[in-house]
Chain A
Amino acid sequence: MINKKVANVQDALKGVSNNMTFMLGGFGLSGIPENSIAELVKLGVNGLTCISNNAGVDDFGLGLLLQEKQIKKMVSSYVGENDEFERQMLSGELDVELIPQGTLAERCRAAQAGFPAIYTPAGFGTEVAEGKETREFDGKMYVLEHAFKAHFAFVKAWKGDEAGNLVFKGTARNFNPNMCGAAKITVAEVEELVPLGDLDPNQIHIPGIFVQRIFQGEVYEKRIEQRTVRPKS
């Protein structure tokens, strides 16, 4: 077994520096790498380009890095639950590239899978396709979208083991598996680091080969963005 375990978040983030490009898993606040984000705030690295579907809220998720003005550019599909984000975007301090959600996922997956680019129908005929190569296949038009290149991918899983194998829970899975192995170094944080052999090989979502470093997060707030319930009756 090749051991991917690191002692703590500090060791997990060794090598991060200013002006790097990061991928960060999560949809809304669900499945975000909370511990890695908190450590990035502590490290104070800045000039970052962050590839993440969303940009957190003002006081949680990537919003914490925005508050400290550590992010130079966001590549996302949906933003705006975040006043500070809006302020920085409108003032021009923050560069924002909005891309279709499926394109975001597939540009991660392409990087993971060794494809330099993919053709997608999403965005053809819209401003998203401006300046990009387009091509017709079987009478339908497609846009060429390039694989992402990133220094680190920070992902969050439910369970993992020292071999780096990961299991996700519910919709907290989202972009996390697609980002594993899509950057030079993939850092996985898990709610529970289980003993080797505890995870059933049949049930593993991401094999450890895609993960370079794994650690158990100290604490998970797992904040709910839109608590929606129905009455018991």
Chain B
Amino acid sequence: MLDKNGIAKRIAKEVQDGYYVNLGIGIPTLVANYVRNDIEVEFQSENGVLGMGPFPFEGEEDADVINAGKQTITTLPGASFFDSALSFSMIRGQHVDLTILGAMEVAENGDIANWKIPGRMVKGMGGAMDLVASAENIIVAMMHTNKRGESKLLKKCSLPLTGVGCVKRIVTNLAVIEVTDNGFKLLERAPGVSVDDIKNATEGTLIIDGDIPEMDI
């Protein structure tokens, strides 16, 4: 079974040379730490920066340079700043190659819910609805089950949706899964995790086709 860093490490392998990538808050943010350094990738943050670098050294923080999580950041040579409309032109206009975000639930048809739990404080969707409605290539990074041990890979989302039929790939602590027309297709198992473990943790239709290899991370 993977921890959060393990999930990030596995997703980093999906990041290809020349990609512009938008990383969500949480596990997705960790992906930047594991991207191979022999490829060229630029990270976009929807508050208006392309070419994000690491966190600043202490004493070098700039209130005017933050990421979408409102954390102080730095920029790399070649970076650019832009306004919010232009930022979402990059996203809706499908200029961003890969979007990695977290989720509370994903359904077997690719629906995603990650912004609202009725009855609890609602913080808002931020840029998530724009991202999932537009991106061609969306990877969801999440734990396979919630804190109560219930599956987050469902036949149908129970929470209010963020987007419909948009998720293509899911990487969890247990598995790599592709969303197909017929349901969740199991592609890889996490180290030490059996196909049965994954079956038991998946409420939606799980397609198991032949031998399922263990992840190479």
Name A's B-contacting residues (CB within 8 A). Answer: 27-31, 53, 76-80, 86, 89-90, 98-106, 108-109, 120-128, 158, 168-178, 205, 222-232
Q: Annotate B48-68 by CB proximity to A: 1 below 8 A, 0 otherwise.
A: 110000111111111111110
With contact pairs A125-B164, A222-B63 given, residues A171 and B134 touching in the complex (Cβ less than 8 Å) = no
Give the contact stretch, choosing among B85-93, B170-178, B191-199, B200-208: B85-93
Residues of chain B within 8 A (CB-CB) of A229 are: 55-61, 72
CA distance A227 to B56 in the complex (A): 9
Closest to B127 in A: A101
CA distance A209 to B82 in the complex (A): 20
Residues of chain B within 8 A (CB-CB) of A231 are: 57-58
B55/A127 in contact, CB under 8 A: no
Tell me the smallest distance from the CB of A104 to a CB of chain B, in Å: 8
List residues of B (14-65) whose CB comes within 8 Å of A's CBs.
45-49, 54-65
B81/A171 in contact, CB under 8 A: yes
21 contacts between A and B (CB under 8 A): A27-B66, A27-B70, A77-B127, A80-B122, A86-B121, A98-B124, A99-B125, A101-B125, A101-B130, A109-B85, A125-B165, A171-B49, A174-B48, A174-B83, A176-B83, A223-B63, A225-B66, A227-B61, A230-B54, A230-B55, A231-B57
Tell me the smallest distance from the CB of B59 to a CB of chain A, in Å: 8
Check if B151 is an interface residue, CB within 8 A of chain A. Answer: no
B84/A172 in contact, CB under 8 A: no
Q: Annotate B101-140 by CB proximity to A: 1 below 8 A, 0 otherwise.
A: 0000000000100000000011111111110011000000
Interface size grouping (class) on chain B: 35 or more
CA distance A222 to B84 in the complex (A): 19
Check if B69 is an interface residue, CB within 8 A of chain A. Answer: yes
Residues of chain A within 8 A (CB-CB) of B88 are: 101-102, 105-106
CA distance A182 to B97 in the complex (A): 31
CA distance A29 to B45 in the complex (A): 16
Residues of chain A within 8 A (CB-CB) of B46 are: 101-102
CA distance A187 to B73 in the complex (A): 29
Residues of chain B within 8 A (CB-CB) of A29 are: 63, 70
Residues of chain B within 8 A (CB-CB) of A126 are: 129, 160-164
Residues of chain B within 8 A (CB-CB) of A125 are: 111, 161, 163-165
A228/B92 in contact, CB under 8 A: no
Check if B71 is an interface residue, CB within 8 A of chain A. Answer: yes
